[in-house]
């Protein structure tokens, strides 16, 4: 407890600590796990407001002066996701992937939950974050590696400016959107984010392009065979005339495994069926290679924090809501 906090009346101190607890929990649940250290306690504790589009977690933050550290142990706690961060007031200094970047109004920072580093908010900051599960990007060709840190300028990058304008539109219409409109807005936002990532990829002019090219071919094969049953490394290798070890290397280059990538695509396909179809959860599980509805339920809750039934109730279109079994 800092001296400034200790000088407050007991009731004020308790309220401040409770407010701070909820703010930290929101950072963990809607952004990433990290160690946070407040640099001062007198004044604003920070606040947040949520406006989600399906599984895309959009959060507006009012941040007090704070410092954060995210090491490997904390990074391993979080599911794979892309983080998109913008600011409308103030600055945040971020050290990540061997570089230091400044988040300020007009900048868009894209990173992932795999990245480690530190950050400092020296004064009050108003920012917005979008947490995008990797499963949501499964249908987009974002390449075999999402950059650990990508910084775009809205005055120079058309897609970054489109992102900013699109989010302003979401602000204006969020409370009036139907489930179909919300899903459409989700997919449009995903398209813009995936486009920013795709446009940032630099071609590898050396000999290192072989594995990324193979990785894209392997992922295409996986998407096309999701409903055929179990996907085995030996089948992938035989279909592409390479050794099984080469298949593993293509995924290990980005810290992935074949199993994790297959699971990502299966969950993405199951989510789409939950939102757009009236198939039972058991039928969806069978269709996309899960052992049964309970298996799909466990994986779905682990990655999206809701059961399939609850997700369908919250985000399904009218057609998908006609039939459903909660798991």
Given a cut of 90, whether residue 79 has pLDDT beyond it is no
Asked if residue 116 has pLDDT above 60, the reply is: yes
Main-chain dihedrals φ then ψ at residue 183, nearest 5 degrees: -65, -40
Say which DSSP state 8 is in. S
Percentage of the chain modeled with pLDDT above 90: 47
**Which pLDDT score is estimated for 233?**
92
Distance between CA 225 and CA 216 in Å, rounded?
14
Reduced to 3 states (helix: H, G, I; strand: E, B; else coil), residue 270 is: helix
pLDDT level of residue 93 (50, 70, 90 thresholds)? very high
Predicted local distance difference test score (pLDDT) of residue 327: 40
Confidence of residue 11 (pLDDT cuts 50, 70, 90): low
Task: Give the β-pairing of 57-63 and 107-112.
Answer: unpaired
Mean pLDDT of 196-209: 63
pTM, two decimals, is 0.80
Q: Which of 32, 25, 29, 75 is nearest to 52 (CA)?
A: 29
Give the model's confidence band at 97: pLDDT under 50 very low, under 70 low, under 90 confident, else very high: confident
Question: Considering the chain, what is the average pLDDT of its residues?
Answer: 85
Q: What is the pLDDT of residues 135-185, one digit of tens each?
A: 898 888 775 567 788 999 999 999 999 999 999 999 999 989 998 999 999
**2 pLDDT above the threshold of 60:** no
Every domain range in the chain assigned CATH 2.60.120.10 = 3-200
Q: Where in the chain is the domain with CATH 1.10.10.60?
A: 207-315
Fold for the domain defined by 3-200:
Jelly Rolls (2.60.120)
In this predicted structure, what is the pLDDT of residue 40? 64
pLDDT for the residue numbered 255: 78
Closest CA to 263 of 293, 306, 223, 228: 223
Residues 203, 168: Cα–Cα separation, whole Å: 33
Indicate whether 120 pLDDT > 90: yes
- For residue 29, what are the CA distances in angstroms to 65, 95, 307? 20, 22, 16
Retrieve residue 98's tokens.
Answer: 């061997």
pLDDT in tens, 219-230: 889 988 988 888
Question: Residue 322 has what pLDDT?
Answer: 52
What is the predicted pLDDT for the residue at 268?
92
**CATH number assigned to the domain with residue range 207-315, chosen from the 4 options 2.40.50.100, 1.10.275.10, 1.10.10.60, 1.20.1250.20:** 1.10.10.60
Any residues with CB less than 8 A from the CB of 139 and at least 6 apart, and which?
A: 223, 268
């Amino acid at each position: 407890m800092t001296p400034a906090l200790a000088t407050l009346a007991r009731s004020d101190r308790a309220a401040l600590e409770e407010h701070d607890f909820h703010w930290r929990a929101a950072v963990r649940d809607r952004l990433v796990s990290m160690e946070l250290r407040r640099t001062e306690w007198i004044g604003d504790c920070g606040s947040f407001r949520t406006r989600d589009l399906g599984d895309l977690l959009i959060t507006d933050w009012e941040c007090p002066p704070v410092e954060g550290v995210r090491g490997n142990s904390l990074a391993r706690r979080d599911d794979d996701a892309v983080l998109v961060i913008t600011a409308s007031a103030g600055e945040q200094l971020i050290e990540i992937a061997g570089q230091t970047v400044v988040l300020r109004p007009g900048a868009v920072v894209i990173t992932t939950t795999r990245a480690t580093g530190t950050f400092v908010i020296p004064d009050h900051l108003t920012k917005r974050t979008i947490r995008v599960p990797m499963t949501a990007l499964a249908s987009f060709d974002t390449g075999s590696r999402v950059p650990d840190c990508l910084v775009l300028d809205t005055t120079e990058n058309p897609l970054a400016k489109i992102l900013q304008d699109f989010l302003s539109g979401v602000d204006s219409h969020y409370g009036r959107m139907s489930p179909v409109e919300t899903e459409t807005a989700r997919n449009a936002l995903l398209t813009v984010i995936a486009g920013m990532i795709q446009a940032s990829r630099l071609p590898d002019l050396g000999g290192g392009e072989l594995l990324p090219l193979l990785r894209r071919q392997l992922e295409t094969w996986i998407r096309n065979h999701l409903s055929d049953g179990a996907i085995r490394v030996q089948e992938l290798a035989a279909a592409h005339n390479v050794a099984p070890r080469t298949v593993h290397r293509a995924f290990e280059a980005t810290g992935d495994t074949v199993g994790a990538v297959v699971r990502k695509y299966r969950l993405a396909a199951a989510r789409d069926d939950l939102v757009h179809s009236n198939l039972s959860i058991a039928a969806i599980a069978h269709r996309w290679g899960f052992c049964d509805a309970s298996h799909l339920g466990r994986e779905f809750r682990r990655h999206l924090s809701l059961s399939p039934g609850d997700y369908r109730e919250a985000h399904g279109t009218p057609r998908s809501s006609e039939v459903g079994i909660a798991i």
